[in-house]
Amino acid sequence: MARSVTSQRKTINTVAAWTVGLLIFFPILWTILTSFKTEADAIASPPKFLFFAWTLENYAIVQERSDYMRFLWNSVIIAGGSTLLGIIIAVPAAWSMAFVPSKRTKDILMWMLSTKMLPAVGVLYPIYLMFIKLGLLDTRIGLVIVLMLINLPIIVWMLYTYFKEIPGEILEAARMDGAGLREEILYVLTPMALPGIASTVLLNVILAWNEAFWTLNLTAAKAAPLTAFIASYSSPEGLFYAKLSAASTMAIAPILILGWFSQKQLVRGLTFGAVK
């Protein structure tokens, strides 16, 4: 029996939900709008909402001043690279935990998650020293490694919860048909786990893209990603609202678009598969 909903109630719901939704989204919307204003319009009082002289000059100035593409490229390499590396290391681990569980599997999983609790700041200096010694400071490969390590527990956890949902009988059937371990993983498991792997990848790209402790503290000029690009606008340039807005929009746009397109997969990813 479907609940009968009066259209009046539906209207009220719609108005309420849209109001709240727009309110939450408003800071982003306002930032995007401001990025198209002149500096004078950006601080006009009372504020101008839609009726102002739209301009693209802020984007041109930001690009000229700080070479956006270089930061963007660093972000892509660091977020993509650390996720890819993490997946390569985590898939076998999650596979063995899900299909050949031992008494200690649960403990190992818990321990892995607990390494996430290790406060980054507690180990900042040792990592810093090691980076200097190994010549990794301000390199993309250094950040790829660090971000892979801090996100590895999450990747293993997520893949584990996805793999566990794949019925073991299918693997046994494949084994009976003479599939080796490699074929089993490559041709049976991977296709079934692909949606799970996809949401794991997405969530981790977002986490790595937005990570702002290690990326700020371990880079200078060469390997700095978008988090550092935007931090350079903190002050006193922050007072130029239109340019700050343009830079902000440029920093968040790629991930915002990616996130919106993939929100269905993300929802599952975000819950670590623990909420259905």
Partner 1 sequence: MATQHSRSAARLMMAPAVILLLGWMLVPLTMTLYFSFKKYLPLRGDSLANGLEWVGFENYVRFVSSSSFWPSIQTTLIIVGGVLFITVILGILLAILLDQPMWGQGVVRILVIAPFFVMPTVSALVWKNIFMDPVNGLLAHLWKFFGAEPVQWLSQASLPSIIMIVSWQWLPFATLILLTAIQSLDSEQLEAAEMDGAPVLKRFWFIVLPHLSRAITIVILIQTIFLLSIFAEIFVTTAGAFGTKTLTYLIFQRVLESQNVGLGSAGGVYAIILANIVAIFLMRIVGKNLDA
Window 16 to 55, contacts with partner 1 (CB under 8 A): 16-18, 20-22, 24-25, 27-28, 30-31, 34, 43, 45-47
CA 271 to the chain's CA centroid: 14
> Taking the complex as a whole, how short is the minimal distance between the CB of residue 13 and partner 1, in angstroms?
4
First to last CA, the chain: 23
Among 50, 64, 220, 260, binds partner 1 (CB under 8 A): 260
Quickly tell me which residue has 């981790």 as its tokens. Answer: 204
Toward partner 1, which CB reaches closer, 112 or 201? 112
CA 199 to the chain's CA centroid: 11
Map the footprint of partner 1 across residues 106-135, applying CB under 8 A.
Answer: 106, 108, 110, 112-127, 129-130
For residue 78, with 0-12 CB atoms within 10 Å meaning exposed, 13-18 middle and 19 or more buried, which class applies?
buried
> Taking the complex as a whole, how short is the minimal distance between the CB of residue 118 and partner 1, in angstroms?
6
Number of residues that bind partner 1 (CB under 8 A): 96
> Taking the complex as a whole, how short is the minimal distance between the CB of residue 194 and partner 1, in angstroms?
19
67: left (phi over 0), alpha (psi -120 to 50) or beta: left
> Taking the complex as a whole, how short is the minimal distance between the CB of residue 260 and partner 1, in angstroms?
6
Toward partner 1, which CB reaches closer, 84 or 149? 149
In DSSP notation, 175-221 reads: HHTT--HHHIIIIIIHHHHHHHHHHHHHHHHHHHHH--SHHHHS--S
> Taking the complex as a whole, how short is the minimal distance between the CB of residue 18 and partner 1, in angstroms?
6
**246 within 8 A of 35, measured Cβ to Cβ:** yes
Map the footprint of partner 1 across residues 177-236, applying CB under 8 A.
Answer: 181, 206, 209-210, 212-213, 216-217, 226-227, 230-231, 233-234
Toward partner 1, which CB reaches closer, 69 or 239? 239
Among 163, 244, 246, 265, binds partner 1 (CB under 8 A): 244
Stretch that binds partner 1, among 54-62, 63-71, 189-197, 264-272 (CB under 8 A): 264-272
> Taking the complex as a whole, how short is the minimal distance between the CB of residue 189 and partner 1, in angstroms?
12
CA 218 to the chain's CA centroid: 19
Quickly tell me which residue has 């898939």 as its tokens. Answer: 91
Toward partner 1, which CB reaches closer, 130 or 186? 130
Among 72, 77, 89, 174, binds partner 1 (CB under 8 A): 89
Map the footprint of partner 1 across residues 139-158, applying CB under 8 A.
Answer: 149, 152-153, 156
Give the 3-state secondary structure of residue 51. coil
Pick from 73, 68, 202, 69: nearest CA to 143:
73
Residue 43 to residue 40: CA distance in whole angstroms: 6
